[in-house]
Structure 1
Amino acid sequence: MSGYTVIDVETTGLSPERHDRIVEIGVVYVSDEGHIQDKWSTLVNPGRDVGPTRIHGISASDVLGAPRFEDLAPYVLRAVAGRTIVAHNAPFDLRFLTHEMRRAGIDGGDRPAALCTMQWSTAYLDAPSRRLIDCCHASGIQLDHAHSALADATATAQLLGHYLSLSDRQPPWDEILQSSRSHPWPPFDRPYPRVGMVSRSAPSAVEEAWMGSVVSQMPRAADARTDSYLAVLETAMLDGVLDEDEQAALVSLAVESGLTRQHVLRIHHQYVLDMAKVATHDHVVTAAEHAELVRTSQILGLGPDDLEHALAVAWREAEAGHSAPRRESTADITLETGDRVSFTGDMAVDRPVWEARAQTAGLTTGGVTKKAKLLVASDPNSLSSKANKARSYGVPIVSEGAFDSLLTDFERTTLTPTV
């Protein structure tokens, strides 16, 4: 078998490990050439409260007659076996999918490889935002009813088709294809249960306009793990609070992604700083914008002094005429002795010069491997073989300027003589 299966889920919360469940699933079948072949969706009775109705638009009444995931599991298995799963922020959807499948008695072993359209968007789209709606806008794709599983899955399928078209139907993710299509899903040899699909009765919720416009202008994280974390965080912040369960779920997500507490604190500080830069770019911060900055800072566990510092930096840059945040954020990346760094493309600084400086500081250089810390590219949107391999491995791709800043910080700690 071959082809792609695009999946999107709406959930009761952020963490299946903390008993959150799927409340809606959308499935779209896409050919190897990128053509949509079929689709289906249904609400799912989670056997518990439905979670944030104000975000996904699904009420408890909506799911009363909906099937349980246990009844849907054989059909989901048939949809993914021998195919490549695709999702926008795939780590999030895959966590829920594999957890629900195991709960239904279908254990496919380790989490299968999947293609993430959010991760690959940096290669194909001229848009800084990670959000599906912004990636669709950059691709000329119409997305109505965001946060509806079928609408999001269909838009993601169209985004996949856009990528395949730009790559002349010869996608650079061969390793993902081979791994995903050979994943050892168990056979299902029992009769398929009769399942009545149930559609939602109300449109999905709409996020606040100012926050959405700001997020659209904020930079992507160079590290896909951080982008995935921020995508989940932004969804959680739509209702204006992070309750204790959401905070605990985000901690679990950060730990699973390999992000330390210090990483997360740096990410939160950078997030507020980037918001402040967007707000000050027009040299006016309205009362509504300031209130949103205060709210976001509080949600992220930052104090008034942290926000004042972020605004001070943003205002200085606005007055200097370069307040817009950079296209890429490396706040979560810290170089350590022995880290492997790779290079690709024609560099402004000769590659041997970069390599010598990196080696002198205590780093190693060479080709891209799964353990590489990052890839330095003359253009982070590069589709070179090294860049494609880095994306498949989840290795961050950064520009020369970003690497220079990272390396300079690293040199201060390793090359500064102690007295």
Structure 2
Amino acid sequence: MLYDVIVVGSGISGLYAALYARRAGLNVALICKSNPLRSNSAVASGGINAVLKTTRQDSIREHIADTLKGADKLGRFSAVSAMVAGAEEIINELQAMGVVFDTTDEGTIAQRPFGGTKASRTCYIADKTGASITQTLLVQCRKEGVNILQNHVMLSIATYKDQLSGITLLRRRDSQVIAFACKSLILAGGGYAGIYRGHSTNSQESSGDVIAIALRAKMRLSNMEFVQFHPTTLANSGTLISEAARGEGAYIVDENGERFTDELLTRDKLSRNIVKHQLAGHSVYLDFRHLGEELIDKKLPSARKHALNGAGIDILSELLPITPSAHYTMGGIWVRDNTSTDIPNVFACGECAYSGVHGANRLGGNSLLEAAYFGRLAGIEASRAAKKGEFHPIDYALVDKEARYVEAILEGENR
């Protein structure tokens, strides 16, 4: 198959990239491992950060400052500034596509506080923001003619004389290795926090395979050592309890009911405080009881459901046992501010890319913004490159090599 642009990954960054490449009038394929609604974007709960015209006691300058401080001063100023300045446009565009954000009594978009800032700049849809945005973008991609290929796993980048020629894939329904040619490629395949099995908010599919593919293609990686642990996950499973809970006023307490930390610290600091308290012999809980049933059911319905189904806890009357779990990876494929990589016509965005926005630690609410902003940018840049580019031959010796590797795995012993 021949495509002008291939996008690998079906989270918000991949969907946005595919949508904008398609809007440029190009033939676009979106490759996803399984169901598009199983991405990390789809389970991101709390919200998306933006300074809006209606946002009170906040500014773009403050958002930039909070992001850089939260990144432990390792963020890239140019990338942070561009993303933050473009946030309101992203929110307006999502609304125009059909995303229905929660609103205030005055009819403006409601915003809640998140860790690392006292400003209320996180726009939300209850505690299912990521799912709502993902579903809307998926519908829009289908409507505008993006070719969505589910259950295809990318294996490698094919090049010809150091120029992109396409990709090899494993078609899961029949375990066949196939190749697609393209003029531009966008990598948006997510991070690798799923490798912390049993101690992660991610599924096991978040294994960093796209990042590994980039490394095998001799592309630079950066900041791979920075893994963010989310402070509030179910103690027995690692299931995420969104930062929206703390943004709406839930307390972190110990077995004595005592609050021992500031709930709106950045995630790295809060996770360390919780672990230190646990190492001192304490148990740690989220306390929702003072919030009341009306607020919980309106703004935190998923938290109540996860607590009941995952831990058998009714948060209206009981404390919810929590512990930190691996959640988000800051490092990934090194990209320039325009999302381009070391290989011409190959771009990267979302959690698999090191855009420089998050540095050593990400602020809650910035991941969905980063995914949307840089996903859109990748779609625009890849389209420009594809219009100027041409198809290059694929070396089918690479396809044969991948096929033999898969065959060896299938014929091997299962242990």
Normalised to the residue count of structure 2, the TM-score between the two structures is 0.26
Higher share in helix: 1
Higher share in strand: 2
Name which structure has the greater RCO, CA cutoff 8 Å, separation 6+. Answer: 2
Normalised to the residue count of structure 1, the TM-score between the two structures is 0.26
